[in-house]
Amino acid sequence: MRPYRPILWFALIAIAVTADVRVPAAEAPPLVAVYGDVVHTMAGPPIEKGVVVIDGGKITLVGSALDIPVPPAARVVRGKVVTPGLIDAHTAVGLTGYLNQDQDQDQLDKGEPIQPELRAIDSYNPRERLIEWVRGFGITTIHTGHAPGALVSGQTMVVKTVGETVDDAVIVPAAMVAVTLGDDARPGDEKKSPGTRSKAVAMLRGEFVKTQDYLRKLDLGDPEKRPDRDLRREIFADVLRGKLPLLVTVNRATDIDAALRIAKEFGIKIVLDSAAEAYLAADSIKAAGVPVIIHPSMRRGGTGETENISFETPATLHAKGISVAMQSGFEGYVPKTRVALFEAAIAAANGLTTEQALATITSDAAAILGVADRVGSLRPGLDGDVAVFDGDPFEYTSHCTAVVIDGRIVSEEPR
């Protein structure tokens, strides 16, 4: 190959010179028509023999293929079942990488117990192989960021599973602040706090009390008394102002109660995450109007705080009228990530209907993440994100045959 190297270099230079017109990003998204024997719009009943038309990256038409003519010049994609691009309501993929070595693990800094100032956008690797992996199964949007494992581990964000930079991918740069209560909030060194559940709650309350003072001083309007800028205070201030919810990872019912108590005391928005024993606290969760991003169905239960997990929790909470989404969660070993589609499938097999289970990874997930005006259902005006399957999306032996994000076909390899 050596004699050809100069030519290769020339080719690279040519690419570099024309780098401003990166082929996939610069071309306008094509006109795409996605046909399905069944189209689950998640904005109404499923449409038999339906079509979704996407133009300029946005959905323009959704309806019966009998009523909507094939647009001339459209790229046509066909499949048995069409759904909105799927949403993984909570993962750490992109901050955590598949090699599981120091250089690709940025989901958790255990240096301090409380670090809400850590931004997810500063650690996200859009080229991480696990992102491509989950996208192949139809996942087009992920809520990712700092993982459970510290009292306040950092921020989360919502991104599309495409893009060469975080700016290409991001929908919501700061979505929530990740809080962990229970055993996993302990730093592992018994000389460091929090060492108990009560201490963890006291520390968190202390932060909010301090932030209330910070806000009070800001509101005085006196430039002399204005507090210095403080990244930590600014984020907690956004939590107190209701701009940023806390994503509280809990499992024991005791810790769920503690999370609801804190939310009530400070009037802040929270989303419960994992919540292995949520079925024990369903009445209080319902009364508080708090949504739950339920642990992966297949999460290793067995021991510790998650020993009582149930395949039926999604159905139990749904029946109570609690808003639920499913997630792939965070895995520290093999497999390095789960796939939200498969986790919702177990929910579909254990008490939820197909439509309800789909909602946990589409419309309901979008609502919980605050992005329902962009993704999660097939309606005109929303992003052109679509997943196509050759059968029931939840069946093990079906394949995801096409994935469309922002009107671009990003995968047609059956997976």
Which positions lie near another protein, rule CB under 8 A?
97-101, 129-130, 133-134, 277, 279-280, 298, 300-303, 307-312, 331, 333-339, 342, 345-346, 348-350, 394-399
In the complex with another protein, the residue whose CB is nearer, 27 or 283, is 283
For residue 316, the minimal CB distance to another protein (Å) is 9
- Strands 324-326 and 58-64 turn out to be unpaired
Residue pair 152/114 in contact by the 8 Å Cβ criterion:
yes
Least gap, CB of 395 to another protein (angstroms): 6
Output the smallest distance, CB 311 to another protein, in A.
5
At closest approach, how far in Å is the CB of 263 from another protein?
24
Minimal distance, residue 307 CB to another protein, in Å: 3
The nearer residue to another protein, 7 or 334, going by C-beta atoms, is 334
**32 in Cβ contact with 409 (< 8 Å):** yes
Nearer to another protein, 317 or 339 (CB): 339
**For another protein, the closer CB: 222 or 397:** 397
DSSP string of 9-65, one letter each residue: HHHHHHHHHTGGG-HHHHSPPPPEEEEEEEE--SSSSPEEEEEEEEETTEEEEEEET
CA 341, CA 392: separation in Å to the nearest integer? 11
Q: Which two tokens stand for residue 157?
A: 């964000």
| Closest listed residue to residue 137, CA positions, set 296, 339, 298 | 339
CB of 283 to another protein, least distance (A): 15
Q: How far is the CB of 115 from another protein (least distance, A)?
A: 26
**Which CB atom, from 280 or from 367, has the smaller least distance to another protein?**
280
Cα–Cα distance, 178 to 152 (Å, whole number):
6
Nearer to another protein, 70 or 349 (CB): 349
Q: In the complex, what is the shortest distance from the CB of residue 342 to another protein, in angstroms, rounded to a whole number?
A: 6
Contact status, residue 322 vs residue 285, Cβ threshold 8 Å = yes
Nearer to another protein, 302 or 321 (CB): 302
Nearest to another protein of 307, 412 (CB atom): 307
DSSP-assigned letter for residue 166: H
**Minimal distance in Å, beta carbon 45 to another protein?**
21
Selection from 132, 144, 143, 137 nearest residue 95 by Cα: 144
Cis preceding-peptide flag for 291 (omega within 30 of 0): no
Q: Are strands 400-405 and 386-389 parallel, antiparallel or unpaired?
A: antiparallel
CB of 396 to another protein, least distance (A): 3
Q: What contacts 325, CB < 8 A, 6 or more positions away?
A: 87, 89, 90, 291, 292, 293, 294, 360, 361, 364, 365, 368, 369
Q: Which is nearer to another protein, 67 or 395 (CB)?
A: 395
Q: How many CB atoms lie within 10 A of CB 315?
A: 20
Residue 246's φ and ψ, nearest 5 degrees, are: -90, 135
Q: How many CB atoms lie within 10 A of CB 215?
A: 15
Nearer to another protein, 69 or 335 (CB): 335
